[in-house]
Amino acid sequence: MEHFSRSTLESLMHRHVADIDGAISFDPITTGKFNTSFFVDAGDRRLVLRIAPPRDSVFLFYERDMMRQEPELHELILSKTSVPVAPIVAFDDSHELIERDFLIMERLPGRPLTEARGANYSRVLRQVGAHMAQVHRLTADRYGYLGSHHPMQPQPAWAEAFEIMWGNMIDDIVAVGHYDDGESRLMRALLERHIELFDRDVPASLLHMDIWHQNILVDDSSNVTGIVDWDRALWGDPEIEFAVLDYCGISEPAFWEGYGRRREDSDAARTRQIFYLLYELQKYIVIRQGRNNDPAAARRYKRQTMGIIARQLPQVF
């Protein structure tokens, strides 16, 4: 976790939180892997301060400035659903006080599911499923990463958006030195060979894209009190969300009970799920190499990626 002086942190709070009465305390949130975050007690206010990483960090294409889309997403979700998300008190990208974007939000009750010993897991997953069903019913008229960080040009069809996303991911992996020119061409040809499977009438649904145990808050009665970290959200095919849920161990029977419908189980859907899993896996090549300085871990993710292709899409080799 990065270090910020107390005076710097206090200046960020005083800029946007009026009438703070008494001392301000900052408790680092050590579970965060991208932003630097703090639980903040400011008078009678219970808040969270999140500070984005430096702009010269190594990012996936959709991560640069991605905090900028959170205020509008939180406002939309709060106004259109009953999903528990935090009201955002302030977002600041002026860089007047600190050379970072930062936001301040209300602190939700509960604790991450990872820390909730004795939680009724099935009860939690049914609630998460119901919440995600509400989120997926929020739709846009374009596909891709549509937020204020503008990582890509919005597209009129999902197949076009996913092809851009896939290509940008490959570019990111090339940039950190883990795909050579031949591997880059192979990965692009792989999607091109199957692109017709993605060219279908599917709504541009709001997708969280990072639902795992750490981002689910629960109380002592196993009620879900928060779904957090919406900065990776995109608009597209819900099946790509399902791949993340698979990878993170969320898509258990109880989740689908809450979600209210089963996923498609056709040959085409299963092939799409392979690509969506590969999209999720490949990001860790960039993260492990570029941000964690762990080339061995990056190579493991690359081997896992290529192993899935060899076993499940063997015609490309």
The mean pLDDT value for 24-40 works out to: 90
List all residues 6 or more positions away from 185 whose beta carbon is below 8 Å from its beta carbon.
Answer: none
Number of domains in the chain: 2
173 plus 309 within the same structural domain: yes
Say how far apart CA 2 and CA 37 lie, in whole Å: 10
Same domain, 169 and 288: yes
Does the pLDDT value for residue 307 go beyond 70? yes
Q: Is the pLDDT of residue 2 over 90?
A: no
CA distance 18 to 254: 43
**pLDDT > 70: percent of the chain:** 98
- CA neighbours closer than 13 Å in the CB half-sphere of residue 301: 20
Across 43-70, average pLDDT: 93
Sorting pLDDT into bands at 50, 70 and 90, what band is 1? low
Residue 275 pLDDT exceeds 60 = yes
The last residue of a domain, from among 94, 109, 124: 109
Is residue 1 in a domain? no
Segment 259-263 shows an average pLDDT of 95
- 234 pLDDT exceeds 70? yes
Mark whether 177 and 312 lie in a shared domain. yes
Last residue of a domain, one of 109, 143, 175: 109
The per-residue pLDDT for 317 is 47
Residues 206 and 83 in one domain: no
Average pLDDT, the chain: 94
100 pLDDT more than 70: yes
Which H/E stretch holds residue 139?
strand 139-140
Within a domain: 309? yes
Confidence class for position 110, pLDDT limits 50, 70, 90: very high
**Is the same domain home to 155 and 301?**
yes
Question: What's the pLDDT tens digit per position in 194-210?
Answer: 999 999 999 999 999 99
Contact 127, 256 (CB under 8 A): no
Burial class (CB in 10 A: 0-12, 13-18, 19+), 18: exposed
Q: Say how far apart CA 70 and CA 42 lie, in whole Å.
A: 22
Cα end-to-end distance, the chain, whole Å: 42
226 and 160 within one domain = yes
Is residue 22 scored above 90 in pLDDT?
no
The answer on 200 and 93 residing in a single domain is no
219 and 99 both lie in a single domain: no
Domain that includes residue 299, residue range: 112-316
Whether 247 is in a domain gets the answer yes
Residue located via tokens 């596909």: 143
- 52 and 125 in a single domain? The answer is no
Tokens read off for 128? 């998460």
pLDDT tens profile 141-186: 999 999 999 999 999 999 999 999 999 999 999 999 999 999 999 9
One domain, residues 94 and 124: no
Q: Is residue 207 part of a domain?
A: yes
Pick the closest to residue 285 from 152, 165, 163, 170 (CA basis): 170
The whole-angstrom separation of Cα 160 and Cα 198 is 9
Provide the strand spans (E) within 142-257: 204-207, 216-218, 224-227, 234-236
| Least-confidence region, from 20-29, 96-105, 263-272 | 20-29
What pLDDT does 23 receive?
A: 85
Residue 77: per-residue pLDDT: 98
**Domain boundary pick from 76, 109, 142:** 109
